[in-house]
């Protein structure tokens, strides 16, 4: 795992967006796996800026969605579909047919959750998967548990996730208790994974995750240690405990 520590959230977002731009430049038909949550908002804003400055063409790019709440309409302003449309998809020249969002329609045909994984495979697999991390170590909505699901599935949200994510809801009473998420294998099949962590709330989990010498379903992110191409981009606030433990021997960018 490569670990890049940045001075602040802005530098983290710059670094992440530059990696995504480089991926698209090298392969104009790149398949991107998109995370949601607070952390990548600024990264997406920088991608939109790059598009507006004619630095990138999304017309051949394909995107897949990491996870979505269950029980929200896709047009609900608290859904992740809405979030992605607002932050990125509607602001660049992505083609409609290249946007693949997880939706309750997948559930209407019962066996079709695995169809999502097959759809990713049929599109050549994900070139670059962007991930955040929950303060409990979840990736996507693969929550700490005794077993982790391999493929796209319905997940029961952890209490901690519900508590944290509810604060972001416009209508807090609508916070769902379940979600659809890509599984560990779905994420793992990506050729490259970029995990972002920002802010002091992530300092404990990033210390536990990076220093963990085992892989454990109690910290789902530890499974990323088995993947050969993971870049962790972390700002100083989220890296504080990890750096305290490690000393100052780290890659550093401004």
Q: Which of 11, 12, 88 is nearest to 52 (CA)?
A: 88
Is 86 tagged catalytic?
Answer: no
Nearer to ligand PGA by Cβ, of 132 and 183: the residue is: 132
Q: How far is the CB of 37 from ligand PGA (least distance, A)?
A: 3
Residue nearest to ligand PGA (CB): 37
Nearest to ligand PGA of 98, 202 (CB atom) = 202
The stretch near ligand PGA (CB under 6 A) out of 13-21, 37-45, 179-187, 207-215 is: 37-45
Contact 106, 116 (CB under 8 A): yes
Tell me how long the chain is.
Answer: 254
Pick between residue 39 and residue 207 the one whose CB is nearest to ligand PGA.
39
Instruction: Tell whether residue 134 is a contact of ligand PGA (CB under 6 A).
Output: yes
Identify whether 170 is a catalytic site residue: no
Q: Would you say 1 and 242 are in contact if contact means Cβ atoms under 8 Å apart?
A: no
Structure tokens of 224?
């990323």
Query: In terms of CB distance, is 33 or 132 closer to ligand PGA?
Result: 132
Sign of CA dihedral 134, 135, 137, 138: negative
- Spacing of C-alpha 58 from chain mean position: 19
Q: Is 52 exposed, middle or buried (0-12, 13-18, 19+ CB in 10 A)?
A: exposed
Of the ranges 22-30, 36-44, 53-61, 184-192, which one interacts with ligand PGA (CB under 6 A)? 36-44
Helices 236-246 and 203-211, interaxial angle, to 10°? 40
Which among 138, 142, 165, 235 is annotated as catalytic? 138
d(C-alpha 52, C-alpha 72), whole Å:
31
Q: Is 37 an interacting residue with respect to ligand PGA (CB under 6 A)?
A: yes
Residues of span 94-133 touching ligand PGA by CB under 6 A:
132-133
Interface with ligand PGA (CB under 6 A), residue from 38, 60, 85, 100: 38
Residues with catalytic roles: 67, 136, 138, 143
């Amino acid at each position: 795992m490569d670990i890049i520590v940045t001075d602040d959230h802005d530098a983290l977002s710059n670094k992440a967006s530059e990696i995504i731009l480089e991926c698209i430049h090298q392969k104009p038909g790149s398949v991107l796996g998109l995370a949601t949550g607070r952390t990548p908002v600024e990264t997406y804003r920088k991608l939109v800026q790059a598009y507006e400055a004619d630095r990138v063409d999304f017309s051949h790019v394909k995107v897949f969605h990491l996870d979505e709440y269950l029980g929200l309409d896709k047009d609900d302003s608290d859904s992740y579909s809405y979030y992605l449309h607002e932050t990125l998809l509607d602001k660049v020249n992505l083609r409609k047919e290249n946007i693949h969002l997880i939706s309750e329609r997948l559930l209407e045909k019962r066996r079709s959750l695995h169809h999502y994984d097959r759809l990713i495979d049929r599109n050549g697999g994900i070139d670059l998967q962007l991930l955040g991390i929950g303060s409990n170590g979840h990736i996507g909505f693969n929550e700490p548990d005794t077993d982790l699901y391999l493929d796209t599935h319905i997940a029961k949200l952890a209490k901690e996730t519900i508590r944290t994510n509810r604060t972001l809801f416009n209508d807090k009473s609508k916070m769902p208790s379940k979600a659809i998420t890509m599984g560990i294998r779905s994420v793992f099949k990506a050729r490259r994974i970029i995990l972002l962590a920002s802010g002091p709330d992530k300092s404990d989990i990033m210390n536990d995750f990076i220093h963990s010498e085992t892989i454990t379903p109690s910290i789902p992110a530890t499974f990323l240690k088995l993947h050969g191409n993971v870049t962790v981009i972390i700002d100083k606030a989220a890296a504080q405990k990890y750096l305290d433990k490690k000393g100052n021997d780290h890659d550093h960018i401004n």
